Amino acid sequence: MAKIKYFLVTLTALCFFLLVYLNWNTVKLQSSRFRPVPMHKEGFRMVEDIGILKALEVKFLPNFKNPCWYEVRRHNRQPHPQDVQHFQIVPSAMQHRYRSINHADEVLQCLPYFFLIGQPKCATTDIFHRINSHPDVAKPVVKGPNWWTRKRFGMPYVPQPVPLSEYINLFNASKIKGYKQTSGELQDTWEYPRITGDGSTSTLWDSAPTMGYLHHLMTTHKGTNIVQVLLQGRKESNSVPNVRNSSKIDAISYEHAHSHEWNQSPAPQRGIVLPFTVADVIHLILPKSRIIAVFREPVSRLFSSYLFFTKKGDLSPRHFDESVRTSIQKWNACVRQYSDRTCAYNKTLQNAMGVRLYNGLYNIYIKDWLQVFPREQVLVLRMEDYHNNVTKTLASIYHHLGLRSATP
C-alpha cells in the first residue's frame, strides 16, 4: 500500500513539473510573437513595426508575377533560438501553407499582388472567394487582416503593433511557388504566375490611424523628409502641402497631441486629417499593386451595414431612422466648418455617428487612390452589376489581374 502511495505522489509531482515546463515554453513563445524575422544585415534592413515608410530594400524576383523575394537567413551550425522561434509560434500543420524554404537558408516571402479595398457590405466576401477560386490565385490565411489600416499600429485594435513579418506570414508563398510554367506553356514573362491578395475592406476609407502616425513623424525629427518621400508617388506633386496648419481641425489636433504620450500609440489621436492616406504608404512599397473597389447603392449599403453592426436588441425601423438623422446632423455640422474630405476621414466624427454614413462617401476616398495609383491599376465595380452578371464581372476582374480565363 505504501509503494502505491509513493508511486502516486511521484507521478503527481512529475505531472506538475511537466505542466510548469509546458506553460513556461508557451509564455516564452507568446512573448516572442511580435519579434520580426531576422534578416541578413547586408541584403535587408530591419523594418520598424509601425514605420515602414521607406520601400523595402529588396528586389522582387523577376520570374514571379507576385511581389516575392528570398529572405536570407543567418546560417549557423547551431542556430540561435531566436532565429527559429518565429516558425515555432505557428502550428506545424499550417507552416506549409505559406512558407517555402530554399536550401534551408533562404525563405520565400511574398506580399499581396492585389488589394480588394472595399467597401464593407458590398459583396466583397463573395467576390474575394471567387477570385481565390481561380487556379492562378493563392488564397491567404484570412480575407481581411486590416493590417495596413489598423493592426500595424497596435492599440486600440490589438494589444501590440503587429509587425510586417506576421503580415507576410498570411500569404501562401509555398503555393505561389507551387506552380511553375514550363517553357512550352510559358505565355507571359513569369515562370511563377500565381498571385495572392488582401481583401481588407477598411483599406479604402480608414486612413485615420495612418494620418495620426504620419503627423507624429512630420512634427518630430523622425520624419524630416517624409512629405517629400510620400509625394514621390503622387502624380501631382508640384507643391508640398502644409501639414501642420492646413485646417483648423488639424491645428486643434496638433495641440491636443502634445498633451498625450505619442510614443505609446499614435492611433488614438483621432482628429488629424492629412493629404496622405493608406494609398500613399502601400504605393511606396508596392507601386504596381492592382486595386479593386466595389461600391453599392448608398442607401441599401447603409441599411445592410446597420443590420450588421447594430446590437440585435436595438434593431428597429425607428432606431434606424433616428440614427441616420442624427448622423446626417453631425455630418452637416462638420461640413459647415470644414471640407467634405476632412469630415470624411475624421475618426472622431466617424465614432460619433450612429450609423456608418461615411462608408458611402465613395467619391472622396477613391479620388485619393486615383491621385496615387495610375487609372489602369484601379478597377471600380458596382455590386448591382456583379449580382446581375457574375460571369461578366469576374471576367473583368480576371482581366484586370492579368489572369487567364477560367470558370469560377
**Segment 220-249 mean pLDDT:** 55
Higher pLDDT, 65 or 269: 65
Residues 137, 236: one domain?
no
Mean pLDDT of the chain: 75
Residues 137, 164: one domain?
yes
- Asked if the structure places residue 238 within a domain, the reply is yes
Q: Quote the DSSP letter at residue 190.
A: -
The pLDDT assigned to 159 comes to 84
Alpha helices (H) in 32-152, listed in sequence order: 81-88, 92-95, 124-132
- The percentage of residues in the chain with a pLDDT greater than 70, rounded to a whole number, is 65
Do residues 272 and 344 lie in contact, with contact meaning Cβ atoms separated by under 8 Å? no
Q: Calculate helix-pair angle for 124-132, 390-400, nearest 10 degrees.
A: 60
The pLDDT assigned to 271 comes to 63
The pLDDT assigned to 150 comes to 92
Higher pLDDT, 133 or 22: 133
Residues 288, 185: one domain?
yes
- Asked if the structure places residue 18 within a domain, the reply is no
The pLDDT assigned to 272 comes to 75
**Segment 235-240 mean pLDDT:** 44
Residues 169, 261: one domain?
no
The pLDDT assigned to 383 comes to 98
For every residue of 114-126, DSSP letters joined together read: EEEEE-TTSSHHH
The pLDDT assigned to 266 comes to 35
Per residue in 358-375, pLDDT (tens digit) is 999 999 999 999 999 999
Per residue in 115-153, pLDDT (tens digit) is 999 999 999 999 999 999 999 999 999 999 999 999 988
Higher pLDDT, 68 or 228: 68
Question: Is the confidence at residue 391, as pLDDT, over 90?
Answer: yes
Residues 123, 167: one domain?
yes
Residues 214, 136: one domain?
no
- Asked if the structure places residue 371 within a domain, the reply is no
Residue finishing a domain among 217, 242, 276:
276
Do residues 58 and 69 lie in contact, with contact meaning Cβ atoms separated by under 8 Å? yes
- Asked if the structure places residue 146 within a domain, the reply is yes
Contacts of 396 (CB under 8 A, 6+ apart): 379, 381
- The percentage of residues in the chain with a pLDDT greater than 90, rounded to a whole number, is 48
The pLDDT assigned to 228 comes to 72
The pLDDT assigned to 226 comes to 72
Do residues 373 and 101 lie in contact, with contact meaning Cβ atoms separated by under 8 Å? no
Question: Is the confidence at residue 11, as pLDDT, over 70?
Answer: no
Residues 328, 306: one domain?
yes
Per residue in 30-84, pLDDT (tens digit) is 333 222 233 333 322 333 444 555 556 678 999 999 999 988 765 444 434 333 3
Higher pLDDT, 83 or 14: 14
User: ω into residue 317 within 30 of 0, thus cis?
Assistant: no
Q: Give the CB-side neighbour count of residue 233, counting CA atoms within 13 A.
A: 29
Q: Which three cell numbers stand for residue 90?
A: 505557428
Q: How many domains does one find in the chain? A: 3
Question: Is the confidence at residue 85, as pLDDT, over 90?
Answer: no
The number of beta carbons lying within 10 Å of the beta carbon of residue 14 is 10
**CA 402, CA 399: separation in Å to the nearest integer?**
5
At residue 381, φ and ψ (nearest 5 deg) are -120, 160
Which helix (H) or strand (E) covers residue 291, if one does? strand 290-295
Residues 219, 318: one domain?
no
Residues 67, 120: one domain?
yes
- Asked if the structure places residue 216 within a domain, the reply is yes
**CA 206, CA 339: separation in Å to the nearest integer?**
17
Question: Is the confidence at residue 87, as pLDDT, over 90?
Answer: no
Least confident span in 31-35, 279-283, 292-296? 31-35
- Asked if the structure places residue 369 within a domain, the reply is no
- We report the CATH number of the domain holding residue 77 as 3.40.50
Banded model confidence at residue 2, pLDDT cuts 50, 70, 90: low
The pLDDT assigned to 286 comes to 92
Question: Is the confidence at residue 278, as pLDDT, over 60?
Answer: yes
User: Which residue is associated with the grid cell 533560438?
Assistant: 81
- Asked if the structure places residue 10 within a domain, the reply is no
Structural domain of 340:
299-360
Residues 197, 268: one domain?
no
Residues 143, 288: one domain?
yes
Residues 315, 355: one domain?
yes
